[in-house]
């Protein structure tokens, strides 16, 4: 029986200040396995009430334009965070790292979206934080571990990390 190949790593991020240790681990694993990283940010959609309220004040095409612009801003923020990480943490390395990162934003329930994206992208591993933004054990992480069909690396982040 052959050892499992790790070609694609799904790295989930809330884009919070505390997520760098998780990304650091994803980059380390990607370099070790020569794997592609899918950097995923999940956005929960606004509820029906919120959508109904917005429709009362703005035309649908304006709402769509604002939505699309917001998604592009988040994608740009993801790219900037990777560039800043490379500058601050990888700039002093003897050799440059070749990082193959794809930025993905999906809308939906966190757990379902992570598991679906892992399946759709044929991820071989999921790397995510073990605590939420408030430093508490993440319910989403527990649910992903429970529902995943691939290994999940849960990286402790705590409140001390930046």
Give, rounded to a whole angstrom, the gap between the first and last alpha carbons of the chain.
41
**CATH code for the domain of 107:** 3.40.50.620
Q: Within a 13 Å sphere around the CA of 55, how many CA atoms are in the beta-carbon half?
A: 8
Tell me whether residue 1 is in a domain: no
Tell me whether residue 90 is in a domain: yes
Tell me whether residue 36 is in a domain: yes
Total number of domains constituting the chain = 1
pTM for this one?
A: 0.84
Grade residue 100 by pLDDT with cuts at 50, 70 and 90.
confident
Q: In the 8-state DSSP scheme, what is residue 18?
A: G
Tell me whether residue 140 is in a domain: yes
**Tens digit of pLDDT for each residue in 22-52?**
998 999 999 899 999 999 999 988 777 777 7
Segments forming the whole domain that contains residue 65: 8-155
């Amino acid at each position: 029986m052959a050892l499992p190949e790790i070609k694609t790593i799904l790295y989930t991020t809330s884009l919070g200040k505390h997520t760098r240790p998780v990304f650091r681990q994803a980059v380390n694993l990607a370099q070790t396995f020569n794997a592609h990283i899918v950097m995923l940010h999940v956005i929960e959609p606004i509820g029906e009430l919120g959508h109904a309220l917005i429709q009362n004040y703005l035309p649908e095409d304006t709402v769509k334009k604002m939505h699309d612009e917001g998604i592009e801003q988040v994608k740009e923020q993801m790219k900037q965070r990777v560039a800043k990480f490379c500058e601050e943490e990888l700039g002093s390395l003897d050799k440059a790292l070749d990082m193959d990162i794809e930025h993905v934003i999906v809308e939906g329930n966190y757990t379902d979206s992570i598991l679906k994206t892992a399946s759709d992208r044929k991820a071989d591993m999921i790397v995510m934080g073990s605590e939420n933004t408030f430093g508490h054990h993440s319910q989403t992480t527990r649910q992903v571990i429970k529902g995943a069909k691939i290994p999940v690396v849960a990286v402790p982040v705590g409140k001390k990390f930046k």
